[in-house]
């Protein structure tokens, strides 16, 4: 196992323990953003959530610099991941058509949708790095696992 996988294994267990029994969306997402941001402090420059609200993505709990507060479906990396209902890894944000630049320091990005248990997108995990090509399939795998944990914790529809 690589050190990145080991860190994700540790973070996953920390998240499970911190959010166990919690039901407040803001509190849970704020601590998940904090844990991820702190454990990957070297690589993660902006770590947070966008949530579907009033037909658009609105800024949720995050760690990092001020970010844009409204993103329309199909716009930027976040809006595209929502429209396509799948995770997107962007190795070089300048090469992604329509990328929304919240900070000039962001060079690469990963966006992972959050689904409710009816498989509807309710939000997203969004992470930016100052480094080009900072995210790979290991990030996708573990962030999707964390997203599934959030579905079970916060977004059950039954
Ligand atoms: N870059 C994103 C916007 C959000 S910020 O990265 C925090 C996008 O293109 O959707």
pLDDT digits (tens, 9 = 90+) for 108-140: 999 999 999 999 999 999 999 999 999 999 999
Local structure of 39: helix, strand or coil: helix
The residues near 7 (Cβ < 8 Å, ≥ 6 apart) are: 39, 40
Residue 52 has pLDDT above 80, yes or no: yes
What is this structure's pTM?
0.97
Residue 3 has pLDDT above 80, yes or no: yes
Quote the pLDDT of residue 143.
Answer: 98
Local structure of 67: helix, strand or coil: coil
Q: What is the 101 CA–ligand 1 centroid distance (Å)?
A: 6
pLDDT in tens, 83-107: 999 999 999 999 999 999 999 999 9
* Residue of 100, 107, 124 to mutate, ligand 1, most atoms within 8 A of C-beta: 100
Residues with CB under 6 A from ligand 1: 46, 67-68, 71, 76-78, 99-100, 102, 106, 109, 126, 128
Quote the pLDDT of residue 33.
Answer: 98
Quote the pLDDT of residue 158.
Answer: 76
Cα(66)–Cα(31) distance, integer angstroms:
18
Q: What is the 158 CA–ligand 1 centroid distance (Å)?
A: 31
Identify the bridge partners of residue 124 per DSSP, sorted by sequence position: 50, 113
Q: What is the 99 CA–ligand 1 centroid distance (Å)?
A: 7
Q: Supply the DSSP symbol for 117.
A: T
């Amino acid at each position: 196992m690589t050190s990145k996988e080991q860190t994700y294994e540790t973070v996953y267990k920390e998240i499970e323990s911190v959010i166990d029994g919690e039901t407040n969306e803001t509190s849970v997402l704020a601590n998940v953003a904090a844990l991820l941001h702190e454990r990957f402090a070297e690589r993660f420059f902006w770590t947070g959530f966008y949530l579907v609200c009033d037909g658009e993505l609105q800024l949720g709990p995050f760690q990092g610099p001020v970010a844009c507060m409204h993103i329309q479906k199909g716009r930027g990396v976040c809006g595209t991941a929502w429209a396509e209902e799948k995770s997107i890894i962007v190795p070089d944000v300048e090469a992604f058509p329509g990328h929304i630049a919240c900070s000039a320091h962001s060079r690469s990005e990963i966006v992972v949708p959050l689904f409710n248990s009816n498989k509807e997108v309710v939000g997203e995990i969004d992470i930016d790095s100052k480094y080009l090509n900072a995210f790979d399939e290991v990030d996708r795998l573990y962030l999707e696992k964390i997203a599934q944990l959030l579905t079970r914790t916060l977004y059950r529809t039954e």
